[in-house]
Amino acid sequence: MKTLRKKLVRDLLSSKWLFIAVTIVIFLGVALFGSSFMAYLNLQSSYDYSYQQLGFADFTVKVNSSPLSTVAELEQIPGVKSVTGRMNTDIGVSLPQKNGQSLIATAISVPGNSRPQVNDLKVEEGSYLSPGEKYGLLLEKSFAEYHDLKPGDSILLDGTEGELEFTTSGIVTSPEYIFPAKNKNEFFVSPDTWGVIFISDAALLELTGNDNINEFCVLVDEGADVDSVIGLSEGVLAPFDIIDVVTSDEQPSNAGLKLDLQEFGEMAEIFPVLFLFVGAMTTFILLSRIIQRQRGQLGLMRALGYSRRQMLWHYLGFALVIGIIGSLAGIIAGYLLSESITDLYIGMLGLPYKITNFHWMAMEEGVFIGILPCLIAGIFPALAASRLRPAEAMRTPPPTAGREPLIEKILPFLKRVSLLWKIPLRNIFRNRRRSISTVLGVVFGVVLILASAGFLDSIDSLFSVQFDRIQRYDARLSFAQPVPQDMADEILDWNGVNETTPILEIPVSLENGDKSFQTLMLGMPPETDLYGLYTPGGNPVALKEGHILLAEAIRNNLDVKTGDSITVISSYNKTVFTVGGFVKQPMGSFGYITLEDAQQLAGAQAIISGILLSADSSTIAGLRNTASQNLDAVSVEITSEVESQMMDLMDLVNTMMWVMLGFGVILALMVVFTMITVSLIERRREIATMRTLGERSGRIAAMVTIENMALGIVGLILGIPLGYTVAMYLMQLVQTDMFSFDLVFYTRTYLLTAGIMILVILISELPGILGLRHLDLAKVTKEQVS
């Protein structure tokens, strides 16, 4: 059927802008899917390969103290492949290159003469520790990059016998710190206050005076049951006071990455689904309209002897062309984009190895999911077309029954308005399917814009809540070892310091019945101005003795409510607290009690672990120097720096959301353009008739604009709550223990969305309106009514 194919191609070309618009929607959907899904697969492969190459531990057991010989005992357990025993301790660090800036580092021992069998390191720059090189040190890559430290640079480490100078041998990446998280509660820690270093076991022995180890990293045989190996290992290690067992799934960096990957995967599904749904809807409407316009041709072809099946395939061909071109172009663009996204992501995280594959399956899936909605959308109008009887198809349909619209009955004054307003108003109600299509186009555009804009507003709001309302302090001093409480008063005497708040942070386990949750307990004076506590509704809440306030995210983990009693277990004490309420906490999931209660938990001593302070800006600028000169083993966290680092971290998410928003606007433009253009083409005859009667083009354009704007407003009214609901759903997907987003929409976002949609409508109708000016009145007035 060569000629039918020719007709298909020429029909497509004669309405090329409409087809291009719908194809772009499919293209965007498939490109989004392809890029995010293939990047997701690349990232997953890169993680897996990195973990496999570096022997990432299946689980790690933290004990109080154990001799190194226990490693051999663990290696005897069936299913254990290899074990690395090591010391992991916090240690004071001073950086001579940065005017002696002091901070606290997690120091991890590595064998002096060989590589660790489990949790190995990849040397990115310089070299691994040479055998016998006692004062060499390896720096975790993100920490080294932040401080611009290179191999050969000196670093001072605090030991029991004073400071020791070490030389940086190499810059390394570690499977445990691909995302440098200190622990699950302190996920984002500024490299100004904390970092990770690796030194030889001999050097760590000299610094700490302790030749025992406190961590066992275990790699199990392939196929072995990790849980049973953990059980057997706990049996062996029980005499050494087990503090914690962390499986690879719970390991903070891996957990964070997996969560990130999971969100990536979910986003890889949700946004493309939205686009493809809209693409399907647009294809359906476009094809229905084409068939409506071609009723006469359809009837003729059936009269000539073309079969139903031939007509079905002919009209399905329109949808298939959209699907095939959109999908193929989309998947190619998706593949190219996935390479860039993978590079960007891996570069940002500093992943040890990058694996990018050509994912045939994903390519095929992309093409399939691009074609499928077009096929589904096309099959209904094409089937309807094929079922049309030839005589019926060629018969001019009777004019739509004219009746007074309901709105004129409700608002009688509308009957008296001029024709300029009355005609557009009646048009809206005359062809409801046409009007509903345009409204749906606007609704989908609004939904996509709001879903992306909601993320941007929520991230912005998260920062505002965290750094303006909760963290009101300018800086925070954290001590490696607890210090007396009166240290806060001493620091208040420092020049330029306006206010100090002593705090005590204790790692605890919260228990409610059989449910438990490991977190940090923050004790502080109830009257502090430097740390704000708010209910989820935003009202301030104060600490009370005997009461505990919990981050909102803990509520479900522990299944508790206000007034319940929960047990708080520290390494010193076990105390029952009454849940005083829940607090808004965008980052982390902590518990809050009074400083006095915290000190009771820590063994009834008047000690603190840190100080929050507010100070003049010049004092803040020199605070690190002042602290390192006056205090031992202290890290200084400047709030404005943390905020700026967090914002850098959020840059990728923000960029993705802006891209999504841009896609949303393009999608809205394509959909609304298609709807309006189709609507105008269908009404060429009546518009030509009005022109023939002497109506000015400008006045007709005004009528078209009034009608489209009215439909646009209806679309906005329906789209805003729907967009809010979709944004809410998306937001729920990214809620975790570490991040707790509130869905926030600023008023300006609603106004901006409305503005964008009005602009989209005006731009969309422009080609159609310009086309109406050049109508061949004699010819068009003879066309069949549709």
Please report, as ranges, the residues that interact with other proteins according to CB under 8 A: 1-4, 6-7, 10-11, 13-14, 296-297, 299-308, 389-392, 394, 398, 401
Q: Which is nearer to other proteins, 11 or 153 (CB)?
A: 11
CA–CA dist 713, 503 (Å, integer): 53
Paired tokens of 51: 């973990």
Min dist. Cβ of residue 315 to other proteins (A): 14
CA–CA dist 121, 143 (Å, integer): 15
- Give every CB contact of residue 244 below 8 A, 6+ residues apart in sequence: 61, 62, 518
- Give every CB contact of residue 26 below 8 A, 6+ residues apart in sequence: 275, 276, 279, 283, 322, 323, 326, 327, 330, 370, 373, 374
The values of phi and psi at residue 501, to 5°, are -135, 120
Q: Which is nearer to other proteins, 297 or 557 (CB)?
A: 297
Min dist. Cβ of residue 297 to other proteins (A): 6
CA–CA dist 362, 345 (Å, integer): 19
Min dist. Cβ of residue 744 to other proteins (A): 52
Min dist. Cβ of residue 294 to other proteins (A): 9
Q: Which is nearer to other proteins, 307 or 630 (CB)?
A: 307
What are the helix (H) ranges across 176-307? 201-208, 226-237, 252-293, 295-304
Q: Which is nearer to other proteins, 223 or 305 (CB)?
A: 305
Min dist. Cβ of residue 9 to other proteins (A): 9
Q: Which is nearer to other proteins, 311 or 521 (CB)?
A: 311
- Distances 474 to 357, 431, 488 between C-alpha atoms, Å: 47, 62, 15
Min dist. Cβ of residue 12 to other proteins (A): 9
CA–CA dist 316, 244 (Å, integer): 62
Q: Which is nearer to other proteins, 2 or 416 (CB)?
A: 2
Min dist. Cβ of residue 452 to other proteins (A): 40
Min dist. Cβ of residue 774 to other proteins (A): 15
Question: What amino acid occupies position 293?
Answer: R
Element (H, E) at 173: strand 162-173
The 3-class secondary structure across 525-593, one letter per residue, is CCCCCCECCECCCCCECCCCCCEEEEEHHHHHHHCCCCCCEEEEECCCCEEEEEEEEEECCCECCCEEE
Q: Which is nearer to other proteins, 390 or 622 (CB)?
A: 390
Q: Which is nearer to other proteins, 15 or 619 (CB)?
A: 15
Which of 94, 93, 129 lies closest to 110 in space, CA to CA?
Answer: 129
Min dist. Cβ of residue 318 to other proteins (A): 13
Q: In which residue are the tokens 């198809």 written?
A: 393
Min dist. Cβ of residue 781 to other proteins (A): 14
CA–CA dist 599, 601 (Å, integer): 5
Q: Which is nearer to other proteins, 14 or 747 (CB)?
A: 14
CA–CA dist 586, 454 (Å, integer): 16
Q: What is the bridge-based pairing of β-strands 162-173 and 136-140?
A: parallel
Min dist. Cβ of residue 313 to other proteins (A): 14
Q: Which is nearer to other proteins, 401 or 693 (CB)?
A: 401
CA–CA dist 367, 55 (Å, integer): 37
What are the helix (H) ranges across 70-187? 70-75, 141-147
For residue 468, the 8-state DSSP code is: I
CA–CA dist 344, 455 (Å, integer): 21
Paired tokens of 721: 């709550």
Contact 285, 374 (CB under 8 A): no
Min dist. Cβ of residue 322 to other proteins (A): 18
Q: Which is nearer to other proteins, 396 or 539 (CB)?
A: 396
Min dist. Cβ of residue 377 to other proteins (A): 23
Q: Which is nearer to other proteins, 13 or 410 (CB)?
A: 13
CA–CA dist 578, 563 (Å, integer): 6
CA–CA dist 432, 543 (Å, integer): 59
Q: Which is nearer to other proteins, 53 or 307 (CB)?
A: 307
What DSSP string runs through 492-537?
A: HTSTTEEEEEEEEEEEEEEEETTEEEEEEEEEE-TT-SSB--B-TT
Min dist. Cβ of residue 312 to other proteins (A): 12
Contact 698, 227 (CB under 8 A): no
Q: Which is nearer to other proteins, 409 or 779 (CB)?
A: 779
Q: Which is nearer to other proteins, 4 or 202 (CB)?
A: 4
Min dist. Cβ of residue 402 to other proteins (A): 12
Q: Which is nearer to other proteins, 515 or 782 (CB)?
A: 782
What DSSP string runs through 382-449?
A: HHHHHHS-HHHHHSPPPPPPP---HHHHHSGGGGGS-HHHHHHHHHHHHSHHHHHHHHHHHHHHHHHH
Which of 557, 533, 545, 535 lies closest to 593 in space, CA to CA?
Answer: 545
Question: Which is it for the CA torsion 468, 473, 479, 482, positive or negative?
Answer: negative
Q: Which is nearer to other proteins, 15 or 109 (CB)?
A: 15
Which of 586, 498, 504, 578 lies closest to 545 in space, CA to CA?
Answer: 578
Min dist. Cβ of residue 303 to other proteins (A): 5
Alpha-carbon dihedral 183, 184, 187, 193, rounded to 10 degrees: -30
Min dist. Cβ of residue 398 to other proteins (A): 5
Q: Which is nearer to other proteins, 300 or 713 (CB)?
A: 300
For residue 108, the 8-state DSSP code is: E
Min dist. Cβ of residue 685 to other proteins (A): 14
